């Protein structure tokens, strides 16, 4: 009996540790204990009352408490695009006692919102500074009403929502209305921004609020490269959690490159067997499928990129052993500068029919693990013509089929690669999802093939979306828009988060990321910040991405006319919220500047 009691105590202790914020990672940012009260000044700054007796200003017990309703948008990140009215009063409540009511037209959408409720409670309890349990708790009743059964998440999804908080003498009523589950999910994220810890037990929430909101752009993404340096699933899930906290909705998974091919392709196991760094550095098909489900519950699409024809080497080298010829050429060639942009080299062989067959098998796997509406990113950047031009079997074959070795011929060869793969992608989707009404568009990077003098000849605007990675002052975006192409922007001198750690590149702080304005154009789907992994791994990736990616999140959600200067205090609170959720974002200013708003401008 004694042994059983000890086991019970150990299990109880383990449970308490699991749900109680620790003093390190995952704990809320605890403010200095002071008997002074915080006030929201006329300049919308949260400052300690220095006994100067500023009228009848409302006093708050912590800076986070003050920040919840100081200024028009309080602590909400990203900034709402519609009506936003926040009350000054607070309710004191126990998060374990919040009651949820879901009104949805299908079992699937009801289950989705129930999972959203679970994630919401898990997030807000991490804000507790002490014990979350509160004996005398204000009753909080949350009702979420969803209109649609549709769980599709793509560029046409309506992510809008309405959030109302109303407090009476008996209870606080939270009313969420959204056309679909994704808008409702965003509403719960906003609701979490209106909650903070207090110096005693339980939590504080704004007692009255009205928020109407919708994003300006349908594509709000983060690219993570897990080929150059492998990223464990824990780090990828943390990235997705931080994206959800930022209302971003596309995780662009650059999962393979010439360095390694860690993704399992069940139909072609040789890809991972010959391409992965080793057994510990792989993603199984089941793990990829579960990651897609994990992201979707957080309002995020997973867009998988299978790069080609360049950035493809390791994983493709088994062709000769299987009697399939060289499906890739220039693999690991030296000196690498003669064959590629970056070591190790490798480029797919566009004249090997077996390569296209294998690519089609890869597409089969990806289409099967993803939801029906999802498309694929085909890469297409940094093709090195010298690789093909210095490969005798390619140049010989080109002459045999009537090509000369001019630059135009190589561009035609390159465009044929995309055309054939697009046909394969269409066939895969038509077979797996016969109910689809029209072919899916696919995405390629900007490259020499997308130069204005070439693009219309090689890449039809109806089928290809161009992800541009040019500088902010480059005319390419405007020229492509004028030609009718749809764009995803990854401004390389603002949204390339790997810059500043290699060569002559420059580091872009959160303000630079935030101030990268995006023109409103129906053909601009949105944008992505990019974390290439040559100089980052699992030990540093979170601080490289966050909180800077959150600055782009507000730019893509609300595209505000204001600058980072007006957003900075909400941004600091946003960073603290990431910390409470177990993310390790980089610091952006000294703590003193956070506690003394207006003194470090």
The 10s digit of each residue's pLDDT in 464-488 is: 999 999 999 999 999 999 999 999 9
Beta-carbon contacts of 71 under 8 Å, excluding residues fewer than 6 positions away, are 40, 44, 569, 570
pLDDT band for position 33 (50/70/90)? low
pLDDT at 28: 55
Which of the following is catalytic: 44, 175, 381, 382? Answer: 382
pLDDT at 19: 39
pLDDT band for position 64 (50/70/90)? very high
pLDDT at residue 13 tops 50:
no
3-state SS, residue 494: coil
CA 387 to chain centre: 34
Is 311 a catalytic site residue?
yes
Q: Answer whether 184's CB lies under 8 Å from 161's CB.
A: yes
Is 438 a catalytic site residue?
no
> Tokens 């995405």 map to which residue?
443
pLDDT at 36: 65
Which of the following is catalytic: 64, 252, 254, 311? Answer: 311
pLDDT at 20: 39
pLDDT band for position 17 (50/70/90)? very low
pLDDT at residue 14 tops 90:
no
List the structure tokens of 286: 């089941």
Beta-carbon contacts of 348 under 8 Å, excluding residues fewer than 6 positions away, are 308, 309, 310, 312, 316, 327, 328, 329, 355, 417
Q: Summarize the confidence of residues 518-543 as an average pLDDT.
A: 97
Cα-based distances in Å from 87 to 43, 90, 207, 324, 432: 17, 8, 6, 68, 51
Which of the following is catalytic: 150, 189, 257, 305? Answer: 257
Q: Summarize the confidence of residues 171-176 as an average pLDDT.
A: 98
325-353 burial, b if ≥16 CB within 10 A, otherwise e?
A: ebbbbbbebeeeeebbebbbbbbbbbbbe
Is 382 a catalytic site residue?
yes
Cα-based distances in Å from 377 to 99, 221, 394, 454: 42, 13, 26, 20
List the structure tokens of 9: 């105590």
3-state SS, residue 255: coil
pLDDT exceeding 70 applies to what percent of the chain?
93
> Tokens 């704990």 map to which residue?
27
Q: How far apart are the first and last CA of the chain?
A: 64
């Amino acid at each position: 009996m004694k042994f059983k009691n000890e086991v019970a105590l150990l299990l109880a202790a383990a449970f308490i540790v699991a749900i109680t914020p620790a003093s390190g990672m995952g704990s809320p940012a605890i403010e200095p204990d002071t008997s002074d009260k915080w006030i929201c000044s006329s300049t919308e700054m949260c400052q300690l009352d220095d006994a100067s007796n500023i009228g009848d200003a409302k006093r708050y017990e912590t800076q986070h408490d003050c920040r919840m309703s100081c200024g028009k948008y309080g602590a909400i990140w990203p900034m709402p695009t519609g009506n936003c009215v926040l009350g000054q009063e607070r309710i004191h409540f126990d998060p374990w006692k919040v009651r949820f009511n879901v009104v949805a037209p299908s079992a699937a959408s009801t289950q989705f919102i129930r999972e959203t409720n679970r994630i919401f409670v898990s997030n807000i309890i991490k804000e507790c500074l002490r014990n979350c349990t509160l004996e005398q708790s204000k009753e909080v009743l949350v009702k979420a009403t969803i209109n649609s059964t549709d769980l599709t998440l793509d560029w046409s999804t309506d992510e809008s929502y309405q959030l109302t908080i109303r407090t009476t003498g008996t209870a606080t009523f939270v009313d969420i209305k959204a056309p679909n589950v994704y808008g409702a999910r965003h509403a719960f994220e906003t609701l979490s921004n209106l909650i903070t810890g207090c110096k005693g037990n339980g939590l504080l929430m704004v007692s009255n609020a009205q928020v109407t909101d919708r994003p300006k752009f349908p594509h709000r993404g983060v690219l993570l490269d897990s080929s150059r340096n492998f990223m464990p699933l824990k780090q990828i899930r943390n990235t997705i959690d931080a994206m959800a906290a930022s209302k971003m909705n596309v995780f662009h998974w650059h999962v393979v490159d010439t360095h390694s091919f860690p993704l399992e392709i069940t139909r072609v196991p040789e890809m991972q067997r010959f391409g992965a760094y080793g057994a510990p550095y792989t993603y199984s098909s089941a793990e990829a499928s579960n990651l897609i489900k994990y992201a979707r519950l957080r309002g995020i699409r997973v867009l998988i990129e299978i790069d080609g024809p360049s950035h493809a080497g390791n994983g493709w080298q088994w062709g000769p052993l299987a009697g399939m010829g060289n499906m890739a050429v220039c693999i690991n060639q030296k000196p690498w500068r003669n064959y590629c942009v970056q070591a190790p080299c490798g480029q797919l062989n566009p004249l090997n029919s077996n390569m296209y067959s294998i690519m089609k098998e890869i597409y089969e796997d990806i289409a099967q693990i993803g939801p029906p509406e999802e498309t694929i990113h085909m890469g297409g950047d940094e093709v090195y013509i010298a690789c093909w031009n210095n490969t005798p079997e390619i140049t010989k074959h080109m002459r045999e089929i009537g090509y000369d070795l001019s630059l135009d011929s190589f561009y035609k060869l390159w465009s044929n690669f995309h055309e054939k793969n697009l046909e394969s992608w269409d066939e895969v989707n038509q077979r797996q999802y016969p109910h689809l009404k029209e072919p899916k568009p696919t995405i390629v990077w900007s490259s020499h093939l997308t130069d204005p003098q070439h693009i219309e000849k090689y890449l039809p605007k109806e089928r290809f979306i161009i992800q541009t990675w040019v500088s902010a002052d480059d005319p390419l975006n405007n020229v492509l828009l004028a030609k009718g192409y749809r764009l995803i922007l990854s401004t390389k001198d603002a949204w390339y988060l790997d810059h500043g750690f290699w060569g002559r590149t420059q580091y872009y702080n959160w303000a630079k990321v935030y101030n990268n304005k995006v023109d409103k154009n129906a053909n601009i789907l949105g944008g992505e910040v990019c974390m290439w992994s040559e100089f980052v791994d699992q030990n540093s990736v979170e601080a490289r991405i966050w909180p800077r990616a959150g600055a782009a999140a507000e730019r893509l959600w609300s595209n505000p006319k204001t600058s980072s200067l007006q957003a900075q205090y909400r941004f600091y609170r946003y960073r603290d919220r990431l910390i409470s959720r177990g993310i390790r974002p980089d610091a952006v200013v000294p703590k003193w500047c956070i506690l003394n708003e207006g003194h470090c401008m």
